[in-house]
Chains A and B, each alone.
Chain A
């Protein structure tokens, strides 16, 4: 077993365990903390795939900012009464059905579909493409327009978030 395999098993194990723990906790704050751990483990998996930029993004944006938002929303909503969601009849069956569907889909994708090997010839190059420098170079040559469009998207998001939030304050 190489170091990579060991690390993969470690991270994948953490990710799977924490995600199960997250959805089974009755205390929503504890569930949120498990989600942070889950995000961290996913970042590790990204690193193992040589997707450094994704890993950094995962930690900064997901485990950082989004989780802060989650926790504030939890505190804002006073979720004491939210535990009754399991009392809706058929909820669990429905959830299991959806989860099973997604599982089958992913399994199918992984096991029975390998057309990506047939078509894209340069797999090694695509693995090396995950470094921040490569992404930066791509962003500033081929993807300038989406980059600036994202700037406008975020400006609209800033203004919009404040409008919707202010609605509540006033």
Chain B
């Protein structure tokens, strides 16, 4: 048997190997060290940094692994995947630092080993989701990600809400992954293969199409749509986001969503592509009208997210609905079905990661201090916690998309892509949605600055570590808001998917 081609393919999964080794290291360290858990976060960060070196190496690749018999394998290494992996790694590092200053996580001290193991389980799942080109590996990686996040969502011990979040997540997640598996099995039954590249060449044959095929694709989309919380599959989001420990909420809203989007883009672009024309528009095979479908889903998602957010009184729930709305904007970038739309998505994600992580971080610190996440309890915080209030104001303004913050640039590129593709009506709907979102973000700021608290609160100081963290998160918001050329260039150079 020829193992040579397999060994050659190992170079494409170096980051994944590093993450896998870190999982084993974390578990063994936890088992050997017993009560001493202080080493674990640093092992995690070291592992992530090593992995990031190998991910950066992948920016120069554009390859797919091969099987023992030389046929197309199931792992790709390309700049597109590397970009999303970098987003995952950066958000993971930030989350590890979050966890160090989170009261919820500190309370569950004896379970820190499990916490970091499962976070790395999520990372491994996300990496495979981002780079896999085979429906079987896609399904397994989604399961790995979901399983770890179910448990992390119910991580804290004594909270009833927490258990409820975990249970709801498991039930919705199990149902949706079952639905996705059904879709995959239909596709396999129709074609006899699960490899995306081979599927693409099958789909060029004239006899494809019909109701069953359409159904299978929608079922697979349902599984991915669950991960990115797109509209009809978003029901879990508010409850899980509210009940989960806030570090995990933040992580789910960035990393897991990023991996889901990477998977969706790869699935649509690799499987259904016919050709890419000179101006970067993707000509998809005439099997499914992905464009109308995605536009429908995205408008539904953003409208639902934004309007539901108007009535929220809990900060985590509000951010949950806002993250649903943002998934809608991002889907719109995909619906353009062009390289320009893809660039817009990449830019949006890089910026969204910082602003959303920042917003959750401030909510966490405030919850640590005042013990509440209710917006009504934020009254007058602008005076007792000036710096924290300033930062959350910046993050929320950036989430709305108002200059000079980076959020504006993200939205700007999205709208340019929409207008260029002559999707004016859709762009107008998205713009109106942004206006709606302004209302609920500003409501928080109004509570903090314009409403006097019922009782006078003493001024609270921010710890140096949290202060440094906030600066790290605030700088990109302003930097990319003013000097965004490097980010745009990076995004432009990372749109290359293996194959097309």
A–B contact, 8 Å CB criterion (strictly below)? yes
A residues near B, CB below 8 A?
A: 108-109, 113, 115-116, 118-120, 122, 126, 141-146, 148-150, 152-153, 155-157, 159-160, 163-164, 167, 170
Which residues on the A side are within 8 Å of B117 (C-beta)?
156, 159
Residue from B121, B191, B207 in contact with A156 in the complex, judged by beta carbons closer than 8 Å: B121
Q: List 11 A-B contacts (CB under 8 A).
A: A119-B191, A122-B192, A141-B67, A145-B137, A150-B140, A153-B147, A155-B121, A156-B117, A156-B121, A159-B27, A160-B151
| B106-127 Cβ-contact flags toward A at 8 Å (1 or 0) | 0000010010011001001000
**Interface majority SS (helix, strand, loop, mixed), chain B:** helix
Residue of B nearest to A118 (CB): B207
Min Cβ gap A97→B in Å is 17
Contact B212 A113 (CB under 8 A): yes
Residue pair A160, B147 in contact (C-beta under 8 Å): yes
A156 close to B154 (CB less than 8 A): no
Interface string of B1-17 (1 = CB under 8 A from A): 10000100000010000
Complex Cα–Cα for A164 and B114 (A): 11
Chain A: which residue is nearest B17 at the CB level? Answer: A148
User: Is B136's CB within 8 Å of the partner chain A?
Assistant: yes
Max chain B Cβ within 10 angstroms of own Cβ: one of A116, A122, A148, A152: A152
Inter-chain contact A119/B13, CB cutoff 8 Å: no
Q: Mark B155-166, 1 if CB is under 8 A from A, else 0.
A: 101000001001
| CB within 8 Å for A153 and B144 given contacts A113-B212, A163-B114 | yes
Inter-chain contacts of B366 with A (CB < 8 A)? none
Residues of A within 8 A of B166 (CB): 164
B32 at interface (Cβ–Cβ under 8 A)? Answer: no
Q: Which residues of B contact A108 (CB under 8 A)?
A: 211-212
Which B residues lie at the A interface, using CB under 8 A? 1, 6, 13, 20, 23, 27, 67-69, 71, 73-75, 111, 114, 117-118, 121, 124, 128, 134, 136-137, 140-141, 143-144, 147-148, 150-151, 154-155, 157, 163, 166, 186, 189-192, 202, 205, 207-208, 210-212
10 other A-B residue contacts (CB within 8 Å) besides A149-B140, A160-B147: A120-B191, A144-B6, A146-B74, A156-B118, A159-B27, A159-B117, A163-B151, A164-B151, A164-B154, A170-B157
Residues of B within 8 A of A142 (CB): 67-69, 71, 73
The answer, among A119, A122, A152, A157, for a CB contact under 8 Å with B207, is A119
Q: Is the CB of B192 within 8 A of A119?
A: yes
Q: Give min CB distance, B431 to chain A, whole Å.
A: 39
Q: Name the one of B6, B71, B136, B192 contacting A126, with C-beta atoms under 8 angstroms.
A: B192
**Minimum C-beta distance from B28 to chain A (A):** 12
Instruction: Tell whether, in the assembled complex, residue A152 and residue B6 are in contact, meaning their CB atoms are under 8 Å apart.
Output: no
Closest CB in chain B relative to A64 CB, distance in Å: 21
Chain A: minimal CB distance from B219 (Å): 11
Is B143 a contact of A153 with CB atoms below 8 Å? Answer: yes
A105 — nearest CB in chain B belongs to which residue?
B215
Q: Please, which residue of chain A has its CB at the minimum distance from the CB of B209?
A: A115
Complex Cα spacing A17 to B293, Å: 42
CB distance from A138 to the nearest CB of B (A): 10
Distance in angstroms from A24 CB to nearest chain B CB is 24
Contact flag A115-B190 (CB < 8 Å), given A141-B68, A160-B118, A164-B154: yes
Knowing A160-B148, A160-B151, A164-B151, the reply to whether A146 touches B140 (Cβ < 8 A) is: yes
When distances are taken between beta carbons in the complex, the residues of chain B under 8 Å from A119 are 190-192, 202, 205, 207
* B-chain residues with CB within 8 Å of residue A109 when the two chains form the complex: 186, 212
CB neighbours of B13 from chain A (8 A) = 145
A163 to B111, CA, bound (A): 8
Instruction: Give Cα distance in the complex from A150 to B118, angstroms.
Output: 15
**Which residues of chain B are near A146, meaning CB under 8 Å?**
74, 134, 136-137, 140
Contact B74 A145 (CB under 8 A): yes
For B212, what are the chain A residues with a Cβ–Cβ distance below 8 Å?
A: 108-109, 113, 115
Taking a contact as CB atoms under 8 Å apart, the answer to whether B69 and A152 are in contact is no
Q: How far is the CA of A150 from the CA of B141 in the complex (A)?
A: 9
Contact B20 A152 (CB under 8 A): yes
List chain A residues, Cβ under 8 A from B207: 115, 118-119
Report Cα–Cα, A156/B68, bound state, in Å: 28
Q: Is the CB of B1 within 8 A of A141?
A: yes
In the bound complex, what is the Cα–Cα distance between A118 and B207 (angstroms)?
8
Q: What distance in Å separates the Cβ of B29 from its nearest Cβ neighbour in chain A? A: 14
User: How far is it, in angstroms, between the C-alpha of A157 and the C-alpha of B146 when the chains are bound?
Assistant: 11
